[in-house]
Structure 1
């Protein structure tokens, strides 16, 4: 039998404590997400609506198919920085006329929708997803171009936005721009480089330089409409392909464009009949202990995520700190690697390497469920070849060409983060639960290492070791690393694509798998040299 059997006791005190801790963390995440939704704040929102305009999220809601989900990506970008949470941009995957599209919408209530350094990083991440998964892109444009006070960080790298857009078009990926307001300077190149452009009467203003700049540069007197108005671009310059009456009409035209794309997915279709998991996804709230040093069985997560809770485990008796096996999720075949007891030994690394090779042979996407403290250290393990075995696993992950999805549910420390396909290894999508932590090592271990090095240095110089200063240093370092390893900190720096509610895991992963299958699914035919 391959159907997983749960041993989770949802009535236990440990479960209740874990669920309560997770709920508290979710509340904190939601409070920060609310800041992104709030945009520039009540006053800016009121002014924007007073002009008869929809907000970025209202535009998206009208654009996507009725009652279809919208998977927002990187909503906490810029968290902890001097810029508004969300980085004045809304990005995500939505279904338009039955076609999964990447939607990128400027938030004009935040500094006029201008692009700051975090906006660029968020845009670049969206462009990576577009390219890797062959997603048509719809840009909802209303931007004042670069945020001028930060131009030194925006101007030079910012050109990549336009390069990526033209490369998508060259690759046969449709690019569509709906222009809702001012689209100035760099913002003008988004419609300028899109395949399809919709502009709105008396609203859209697209120019490289507005009237004041033209006056300064050439001495010419001009007005917005004759310089870059929608009617001018529709009748004279030819930049506008469609001339909309208002915002709702522009969205209607945008949907019609997508309908006429004749877009077909290049990956295999999912199984028609999809069976829900046997166990309640609500129970995902209490699986991860409050203390990540306490191990938990990732099969309990898998049982509440995969179709029919059906999991065909691979090598269950070998390298048991890593669970590997085959399943389906919303009808799509998937291979799963999940950390069971944190530490990765040589056996786990070799098992993972073989499993990744098999997934590539069968063209099966991979899901990595992180809860690892890294590869095992110590004389016995070094002599046993932990470096070459860990390198073998990382080699396999690096050269695997089937799509990867990573989900951080617990710890993700050290090289274990790499071996489990962390951000640097280009997973198609990477999400985190509020319980997750990621750093070079745990806070106590890192502070302890610094302390040991400092003590050895003092002894080598023949100096007395200051125990009080060492204790203060350890406390400070532990607090710093703890704060820097939390999901909101990492998400703010776009090291993941979002912090998700555990109960939404199956839906989020299903949407990602569906999006992934817009592109061909093809495994690697060769890997790097495995040091045996």
Structure 2
């Protein structure tokens, strides 16, 4: 079957789609810039202390000219404030995968320009996500540390309890043979002291780096001791007395140079690294994705239109195209890497679920990475579909996506609702990578459907009680329910809660997929030397 695009680049529909998508992309970039601008306000103060800003540290650490995939850039958005104008995304942390001395690494930089780098609930969520990816993909983990620790104004006992996972994961990485390195640029106190404490290598900056279980003020309050801050936890003390710091640097720049040298000496690039694949470019330009796809998820389009603009040579083989036709399964290559693509041209019916389950298992048998392009309202409902076995066939799809042992990458390109999200390997199924387009919407169901359901429940309840229905009150309730559901469904909101790894420009989809696929292949080829426990500090 040969698929011919139905998209006309000069059409009115294309132009309207493009305008709407570019407006969302502008909103995304504006939110990311909001965090950068706020952090930049502290540049003068940091430079007066002889420090580099967090973004300058990141730039100095990474190899120039090589790709960097930023993750969780919207973390914390609309969780610190309900006001979309005042809320600052980023959760006071910069996270991404990039190259350090030729080695693909996971990098986390505390953004001490915002709230002194204090950790919020979403900071911890993003940090945990970065650790899990690093462990799964066998990426050296680099943490540039300068943080006031947990934000005590947001204290909840469950946040403290879950915070222990940050340190558990550092121990797990070390025991798994995945090296982790901390650069102590500034303070790291209380629980945060275990960030360097559980790192395999620690570099401390003279005069600014500091790690202590309690700062001088807390020590005096707790014990009455009037301690000197540098004697208590300064990098110099740790390099010569406690042994916490392996390498002492004169300033931030030297510390980063030492970090780059340590990474280079790991020999990581020669131990299972693979050459980045490229493949033939698509015959249909990826840039057209900004106009080829409607922003409104209610407007149908063929998922093959996306495939044409992300696959090598715009070529793919359609698997069972005449069966379960609303579920699209394609064999293709992206950046020279064979992949299986599963997409939705509507709800998933029993035939579509069984077709997808078989395709997933075939990809598992061949070791072929899977890419899920979400645009579905869920599994089909109704008497016809229940009698056709929607539950058991949907369960097959969920079983397959849960159990398949190949790299899995999910993209929310439109709607992703209900159990359809589960069958397509959504957030709960821990895909290797999960990104959203700015127009994506996710949730248990749409706001209109939720409001309609609750309205029917209310009417049925009133009928049982013999009460009259207050139509005005019911209309108000329906409007509030719809607003409540829809407000949480948007990509910016869900990404703010770390329910994906980030929101991306649709035009970058092929580049992002290629980077992630190469990361997964490198992990599968890389040998590691796990131990029974992490490297202990002496």
TM range (shorter): over 0.9
Structure-2 residue corresponding to 1:52: 50
Structure-1 residue corresponding to 2:472: 468
Q: Which runs of 5+ in 2 are unaligned?
A: 82-87, 527-538
**How far did 1:121 drift?**
1.0
Distance 1:271 1:326, change over 3 A: farther
Structure-2 residue corresponding to 1:141: 145
**How far did 1:220 drift?**
3.1
Deviations 1:312-363, CA, capped at 9 Å, x for gaps: 22112211111112222222221110112x1111110000000010111111
Distance 1:509 1:203, change over 3 A: same
**How far did 1:46 drift?**
3.3
Q: Do the aligned partners of 2:337 and 2:517 also contact (CA within 8 Å) in 1?
A: yes
Superposed counterparts of 1:345-424, under 5 Å: 345-424=349-428
Whether 1:223 aligns to 2:221 is no
Q: Do the aligned partners of 1:266 and 1:519 also contact (CA within 8 Å) in 2?
A: no
**How far did 1:268 drift?**
8.5
Q: Which runs of 5+ in 1 are unaligned?
A: 523-532
Q: Do the aligned partners of 2:274 and 2:525 also contact (CA within 8 Å) in 1?
A: no
Deviations 1:161-213, CA, capped at 9 Å, x for gaps: 11100110000001011111111122211111111111112121122222222
Q: Do the aligned partners of 2:219 and 2:225 also contact (CA within 8 Å) in 1?
A: yes
Q: Do the aligned partners of 2:54 and 2:111 also contact (CA within 8 Å) in 1?
A: yes
Superposed counterparts of 1:214-293, under 5 Å: 214-264=219-269, 269=274, 274-293=279-298
**How far did 1:425 drift?**
0.7
Q: Distance in 2 between matches of 1:151 and 1:469?
A: 38
Whether 1:294 aligns to 2:299 is yes
Q: Do the aligned partners of 1:180 and 1:203 also contact (CA within 8 Å) in 2?
A: yes
Distance 1:178 1:271, change over 3 A: closer
Per mean C-alpha deviation after superposition, the further-off stretch among 46-55 and 154-163 is: 46-55
Distance 1:315 1:238, change over 3 A: same
Deviations 1:86-126, CA, capped at 9 Å, x for gaps: 11111111111121111011111222212121111111111
Whether 1:205 aligns to 2:210 is yes
Q: Distance in 2 between matches of 1:312 and 1:99?
A: 35
Q: Distance in 1 between matches of 2:311 and 2:160?
A: 45
Whether 1:96 aligns to 2:100 is yes
Q: Secondary structure at the match of 1:29?
A: helix
Q: Secondary structure at the match of 1:312?
A: strand
**How far did 1:6 drift?**
2.6
Structure-1 residue corresponding to 2:341: 336
Q: Do the aligned partners of 1:346 and 1:385 also contact (CA within 8 Å) in 2?
A: yes
Structure-2 residue corresponding to 1:81: 79
Structure 1 runs (4+) deviating above 6 angstroms are: 265-268
Structure-1 residue corresponding to 2:19: 20
Superposed counterparts of 1:443-482, under 5 Å: 443-482=447-486
Q: Distance in 1 between matches of 2:251 and 2:291?
A: 48
**How far did 1:393 drift?**
0.5
Q: Secondary structure at the match of 2:331?
A: strand
**How far did 1:49 drift?**
3.3
Q: Do the aligned partners of 1:343 and 1:374 also contact (CA within 8 Å) in 2?
A: yes
Distance 1:136 1:52, change over 3 A: same
The counterpart of 1:192, out of the listed 188, 191, 197, is: 197
**How far did 1:244 drift?**
1.1
**How far did 1:239 drift?**
1.2
Q: Distance in 2 between matches of 1:261 and 1:287?
A: 45
Structure-1 residue corresponding to 2:533: none
Deviations 1:368-425, CA, capped at 9 Å, x for gaps: 0000011111111111111111111011111122121100111111111111111001
Q: Distance in 2 between matches of 1:393 and 1:273?
A: 31
Structure-1 residue corresponding to 2:532: none
The counterpart of 1:320, out of the listed 304, 311, 325, is: 325
Q: Distance in 2 between matches of 1:411 and 1:41?
A: 36
Q: Distance in 1 between matches of 2:62 and 2:40?
A: 25
Whether 1:33 aligns to 2:38 is no
**How far did 1:276 drift?**
1.1
The counterpart of 2:164, out of the listed 159, 162, 178, is: 159
Q: Do the aligned partners of 1:108 and 1:143 also contact (CA within 8 Å) in 2?
A: yes
Distance 1:236 1:245, change over 3 A: same
Q: Do the aligned partners of 2:413 and 2:439 also contact (CA within 8 Å) in 1?
A: yes
Q: Distance in 2 between matches of 1:178 and 1:213?
A: 24
Distance 1:81 1:448, change over 3 A: same
Deviations 1:127-173, CA, capped at 9 Å, x for gaps: 11112111110000011222222333432211111110011000000
Q: Do the aligned partners of 1:288 and 1:435 also contact (CA within 8 Å) in 2?
A: no
Structure-2 residue corresponding to 1:525: none
Q: Secondary structure at the match of 1:464?
A: coil
Q: Do the aligned partners of 1:406 and 1:427 also contact (CA within 8 Å) in 2?
A: yes
**How far did 1:40 drift?**
4.5
Q: Secondary structure at the match of 2:524?
A: coil
**How far did 1:272 drift?**
5.2
Q: Secondary structure at the match of 2:347?
A: strand
Q: Distance in 2 between matches of 1:113 and 1:75?
A: 15
TM-score by length of 1: 0.93
Distance 1:35 1:155, change over 3 A: same
Structure-2 residue corresponding to 1:67: 65
